[in-house]
Amino acid sequence: MSAPTPEKVMQITTGGWAASILAAGAQHGIFTALEGRPSSAEEIAQGSGISARGAQALLDGLTGLGLLTLSNGLYQNTADASAFLVKNKPSYLGSLAEVFVQDFATWQKLPEAVKTGDPVAANTTDVADNPFWHMLVPAIAALSFPVAKLTAEKLGISAAGPVSWLDVGGGSGVWSAVWLGENSHAKGVQLDWPGVNRIARGFVEHFGVANRFQTIDGDFHTTDFGSAQYDFAILGHIAHQESPEENIAIFRKFRKALKPGGTLVVNDFILNNDRTGHPFTMMFATQMILVTKNGNTYRETDYRQWLNDAGFQTVNVLPTGTPSTVLLAT
């Protein structure tokens, strides 16, 4: 057995450096400029409007992180950078990196949060008109895009005919954008705060399906979901910010809102029953400590119990190949 080295600890210790380098590269459009066009440091500096010294330091850092390669003095994107860091691609995650870096001050308060068990962030999840939503909501859309497509395929949305769904806390509207694109006869309804719904309408319009997308302004804790109205319902990345009791109450409202035989789609960062799982999912619990009063990263068995308590008889797991998991409840 080989002796331990400080490599892993040093990688984690300098994680803030890595995130900052990535965010700076995204903000200055480095990956977009390099897409299909290998360039020198001088060319990148001139094209992006940053200093020659800054360009070289940033390119060194991005190459060290494995996001760029260097050959004969020319830098180019790796496959990962091309897939996830080029602007205007649906999979773009550069904005998320910028949001995370802006939130470093909150993470510095984690020792206090874990000691008290209370949130310390100014951007808590229960503030409807928080400007933070205008940064976060579009930034996280890329995380849900492939999951929404995969779920649409599993449920046969494209051939389902004139179905409708209710997306509660739908944020950017990415699920409706994807599903409406799959089915030209369907109708999507999103319930969220007014400011978030404005973002969603603009996002969905970009996909050319806004004429079949409706929004309901309201707080899902207090707004009625209706009765036997929808073929499908969606709760994406919301349950983790709620308490177990609140989740049961929300799932009961979904059960009432669905038509007989309707399906509830729950998408979230879900742990295995022994509290292991994807590293991102396991770390996400600390994010919930920082920004929510009662949220957590919950286990699959927790979701199953809540859904059963709310009247759902069957719960099936749909692996997504991402840190998040989809549960299909009927």
Mean pLDDT computed over 32-38: 97
Q: What is the pTM of this model?
A: 0.92
In a domain, 93, yes or no: yes
Q: Which domain holds residue 31?
A: 7-102
Instruction: Report, as an integer, the average pLDDT of 80-104.
Output: 93
Q: Are residues 259 and 135 both part of a single domain?
A: yes
Residue 70 is predicted with a pLDDT of 98
In this structure, are 131 and 188 located in the same domain?
A: yes
Same domain, 25 and 164: no
Q: What is the pLDDT of residues 132-154, one digit of tens each?
A: 666 778 778 889 999 999 999 99
Task: Let me know if residue 107 belongs to a domain.
Answer: no
pLDDT in tens, 205-224: 999 999 999 999 999 999 99
Q: What is the pLDDT of residue 130?
A: 63
144 in a domain, yes or no?
yes
Of 102, 127, 150, the one marking the end of a domain is 102
Residue 191 near residue 231 (C-beta atoms within 8 A)? no
207 and 165 fall within a common domain: yes
Does residue 318 form part of some domain?
yes
Residue 314 CA to residue 251 CA, distance in Å, equals 13
* 262: Cβ contacts below 8 Å, ≥ 6 apart: 230, 231, 232, 233, 330
| Domain limit, last residue, from 102, 129, 154 | 102
The pLDDT, as a whole number, for residue 137 is: 81
Specify the pLDDT at position 135: 72
Residue 126 has pLDDT above 80, yes or no: no
Same domain for 275 and 172:
yes
pLDDT value at residue 127: 57
pLDDT tens track for 43-87 = 999 999 999 999 999 999 999 999 999 999 999 999 999 999 999
The pLDDT of residue 2 is 86
pLDDT confidence of residue 142: 87
Q: Where does a domain end: 54, 74, 102? A: 102
Q: Is residue 191 located within the same domain as residue 230?
A: yes
**Looking at residues 105-125, what average pLDDT do you find?**
86
Looking at the structure, do residues 94 and 65 belong to the same domain, yes or no? yes
The pLDDT value given to residue 97: 93
Q: Are 327 and 270 in contact (CB under 8 A)?
A: yes
Residue 112: inside a domain, yes or no? no
Q: Which residue bears the tokens 């949060």? A: 113
Mean pLDDT, rounded, for 197-204 = 95
Contact 248, 306 (CB under 8 A): yes
**Residue 1 located in a structural domain:** no
Q: Are 167 and 278 found together in one domain? A: yes
The CATH number for 319's domain is 3.40.50.150
Overall average pLDDT of the 225-230 stretch = 98
**Does 27 fall in a domain?**
yes
Q: How far apart are CA 234 and CA 126, in angstroms?
A: 20
Same domain, 151 and 260: yes
Task: Report how far residue 43's alpha carbon sits from residue 23's, in angstroms, rounded to the nearest whole number.
Answer: 20
Is 38 within a domain?
yes
3-state DSSP assignment of residue 2: coil
Average pLDDT, the chain: 94
At 123, the pLDDT band (50, 70, 90 cuts) reads: low
pLDDT at 28: 97
By CB atoms closer than 10 A (0-12, 13-18, 19+), residue 44 is buried
Residue 35 carries which side chain, given as an amino acid letter?
A: E
Q: Can you give the pLDDT at residue 136?
A: 77
Domain co-membership, 36 together with 150: no
Residue 81 confidence (pLDDT) = 98
Q: What phi and psi, each to the nearest 5 degrees, are found at residue 163?
A: -90, 165
In terms of residues, how long is the chain?
A: 330
Q: What is the C-alpha separation between 74 and 200, in angstroms, rounded? A: 39
Q: How far apart are CA 330 and CA 328, in angstroms?
A: 7
> What's the CA gap between 252 and 25, in Å, rounded?
45
94, 164: one domain: no
Residue 44 and residue 87 in one domain? yes
Q: Give the CATH number of the domain where residue 55 resides.
A: 1.10.10.10
Tally the domains of the chain: 2
pLDDT of 124 > 70? The answer is no
